[in-house]
Amino acid sequence: MQNDEDYTSQKVIDRVTLQYNEIIKVAKYGFYPNILSLLQLAQRGDIDFKQLQFANMMLPFLNVSGLQYVEAGFQDFVQTL
């Protein structure tokens, strides 16, 4: 039996993916292609799903200037994750 915090289990990957997809449905994220690429980065293994979960927890709290900052410094953001 896998733990709900095992970010390599398919159950957890599916949950994190679903959360991410629900978050980015909000129209404001459509202006930020780098932010929209986070799921692709996780699926390719460039970041792990635990890092994507952290982004899921943070993104809804960013205002426009915060989103612009993340978008402009996306590589730094990814390294920080």
Contact 7, 50 (CB under 8 A): yes
Q: What is the pLDDT of residues 26-36, one digit of tens each?
A: 878 889 999 99
Q: Which residue ranges make up each domain of the chain? A: 10-80
20 CB burial (10 A radius; 0-12, 13-18, 19+): buried
CB 42 within 8 A of CB 48: yes
The 10s digit of each residue's pLDDT in 11-54 is 999 999 999 999 999 878 889 999 999 999 999 999 999 999 99
Confidence of residue 2 (pLDDT cuts 50, 70, 90): low
Q: Model pTM?
A: 0.87
- Provide CB contacts within 8 A for 48, sequence distance 6+: 7, 42
What pLDDT is recorded for position 1? 42
